Amino acid sequence: MRPKEIRIKYTEYDNINELTAADKNLVQAARSAAKNAYAPYSKFQVGAAVLLENGEVIKGNNQENADFTDGLCAERVALFYAHARYPDIPVAVLAVSAQNHTGQVKEPAQPCGSCRQVMVETEVRFQKPIRIILDGSDGIHILDGAENLLPLAFKPNALK
């Protein structure tokens, strides 16, 4: 037996005002998208904003269903729409924000495992890491690459 350790890297900011203008605009787009989420059951509204390398910003939000397994997360809505509209344009940055019945969540938004896997697949598809901004009222985390969200990720080369 050989114990191993996996570490992730991220940069923590105290609030949105510490971000660059471009990152601040993307976080605000994600916050705006969250307000329009369809979340009548959980009341947990999530918004995502994707900045493509061509400068386009694509927004998405979570869409719930009474059968929770039929809903879709904000991150995947935004990424899939970006790929459908601009299939050959890489994703540069993805911002995620969430709010509940009391307002914006305190801890930075945390994508589910399925969304993390889609982020990894997007990076593999375009051979480029995505900067990921996770927004919360008590802090913002910025990660360089989905592997910092999903270490030991399943990738297409595992199928060979």
Q: Does pLDDT of 158 surpass 90?
A: no
Rounded Cα distance between 97 and 138, Å, is 12
Choosing from 64, 75, 123, 147, the catalytic residue is 75
Are residues 77 and 114 in contact, defined by beta-carbon separation less than 8 angstroms? no
Rounded Cα distance between 154 and 101, Å, is 35
- In terms of Cβ atoms closer than 10 Å to its own Cβ (0-12, 13-18, 19+), residue 151 is exposed
**pLDDT tens-digit readout, 22-79:** 999 999 999 999 999 999 999 999 999 999 999 999 999 999 999 878 899 999 999 9
* Per-residue pLDDT at 160: 85
Are residues 50 and 57 in contact, defined by beta-carbon separation less than 8 angstroms? yes
Q: Which residue has the higher pLDDT, 93 or 160?
A: 93
Q: Does pLDDT of 83 surpass 90?
A: yes
* Per-residue pLDDT at 159: 87
**Does 75 participate in catalysis according to the annotation?**
yes
Rounded Cα distance between 119 and 72, Å, is 15
- The first and second tokens of residue 17, run together, are 């005002």
The CA-atom distances, in angstroms, between 39 and each of 42, 48, 127 are: 6, 14, 34
Rounded Cα distance between 69 and 41, Å, is 13
Average pLDDT of the chain, as a whole number: 96
State the pTM of this model.
0.95
